[in-house]
Amino acid sequence: MTDKLKIRQPLSSIPTLFLNLGLVLALGLVLSGCISTARGTGDLGLIIERADGAIQIIETTSRTKLYEIDGLGDLSHASAVFSRDSRYAFIFGRDGGLTKVDLLTGKIVKRVIQGGNSIGGAISQDGSLVAVSNYKPGGVKVFDSATLNLVADIPATYGNGERSKTVGLVDAPGQKFIFTLYDASEIWIADLSDRNIPVITKFKNIGKLPYDGLLTPDGRTYIAGLFGEDGLAMIDLWHPEGGVQRILNGYGRGEKPLPVYKMPHLEGWAAAGDLMFLPAVGRHEVLIVDRASWKEVGRIPVHGQPVFVVARPDGRQVWVNFAHPLNNVVQVIDVPSRRIVKSFNPGPAVLHIEFSPRGEQAWVSVRDRDMVQVYDTRTLSVVTTLKARKPSGIFLSARAHRLGL
């Protein structure tokens, strides 16, 4: 026989019991509310609404808009990079504006006008520095990413004291920034491992009118595209003492060049396994280059002049959009067969393509239809359409963990 101990609660303590229970329940509701609204930043991103100086903050899990933020100035050629924790976006505007945005709260943290005409920027390897590339006054300015206080001013001076437009700015290993001087035909490497004493290495006579640059995904190779001649300028950052090498010289030799309506964006060049897929300037072609030899191994005829040639993260597909007046089409290239397997017609002025981190989605901005379409990259079908005011660039926070973006 088991004895059961019975404890009788005094009647006088019952109200206290209910009061304590109520406090526990209330606290639980508060905590559960905090937990339900808390979120990470790994699936966040932003859409540039270029005509209104605004951005949308979006998330890719359920493909929805979280916030709309106005007051970012001239975003007609805007780009963005992200802090190493993916919480903050740094947005570079055409009016020289540098804006720090909190993705979790949907608010501007700080905004500075640092130049007269900006073309893009980069964030350092350790995330402590943000660099901005300027057409006017010509040069690169570097800021502390926490405060946006100026750390270094690097004027792009050449010749008899002229200032060059700077383009193709990327981050590189070793706390370095690399950029190209459009007017001077030079590539500069700025080493900011000591932020108080930037060390500049200059490479001259790289070719005519270098218009943009890229860093390969492994961080080893910097390549500048040349508008003034067929070919590219390349630096091996493991052996910079070797100087600038020329690759793909004369890839358009013997062919009549077409008018160039929009320059390709080289940061969108596609690395897929051992191959690079590159836009041919002024031609309706995508070039295929072997990454070991940097020699052309093929070409793919496409719908128009390529602007972005972007690889899905697994490298199996390459998506391409095009310059005006043929900018209403997106084409998908199957890498193993090197064939176009799908052509979409999302609408006029397709400006940008961005893959979700693992590549199951492709986000496509369609400026003149005021929308962003999200595609399933397996079925190649539209799964979501979001309204956006004259959308252009789409930037996802996963870029925080990739070199050169």
Give the per-residue pLDDT at 257: 59
Residue 382 structure tokens: 């539209």
User: What's the Cα-to-Cα distance from 404 to each of 76, 153, 215, rounded to whole Å?
Assistant: 22, 21, 5
Residues 240 and 203: their CA atoms lie apart, in Å, by: 10
Closest CA to 290 of 278, 311, 275: 275
User: What's the Cα-to-Cα distance from 109 to each of 87, 99, 112, 148, 349, rounded to whole Å?
Assistant: 11, 8, 11, 10, 31
Residue 368 lies in a domain: no
Look at residue 235 and give its three-state secondary structure: strand
Residue 185 lies in a domain: yes
CB neighbours of 258 closer than 8 A, spacing ≥ 6?
A: 282, 283, 284, 305
Residue 130 lies in a domain: yes
pLDDT tens, residue by residue, 247-297:
888 765 445 555 565 666 676 677 777 898 988 888 899 999 998 899 999
Rg (CA), the chain: 25
pLDDT tens, residue by residue, 178-201:
999 999 999 999 999 999 999 999
Domain limits for position 113: 81-253
How many separate domains does the chain show?
Answer: 1
Strands 361-366 and 350-355: antiparallel
pLDDT tens, residue by residue, 28-71:
444 444 433 588 999 999 999 999 999 999 999 999 999 999 99
Low-confidence residues of the chain: pLDDT under 50 = 1-19, 21-36, 253-254
CATH number at residue 142: 2.140.10.20
Residue 165 lies in a domain: yes
Residue 51 structure tokens: 């005509």
Residue 397 lies in a domain: no
Q: Which DSSP string corresponds to 151-184?
A: EEEEE-EETTTEE--EEEEEEETTTEEEEEETTT
Which H helix or E strand runs over 30?
Answer: helix 14-37
Neighbours of 389 (CB within 10 A): 15
Residue 169 structure tokens: 């700015």
Residue 304 structure tokens: 């128009």
Residue 393 lies in a domain: no
Residues 69 and 64: their CA atoms lie apart, in Å, by: 15
Residue 149 lies in a domain: yes
Residue 198 lies in a domain: yes
To 10 degrees, the CA torsion angle through 174, 211, 231, 204? -60
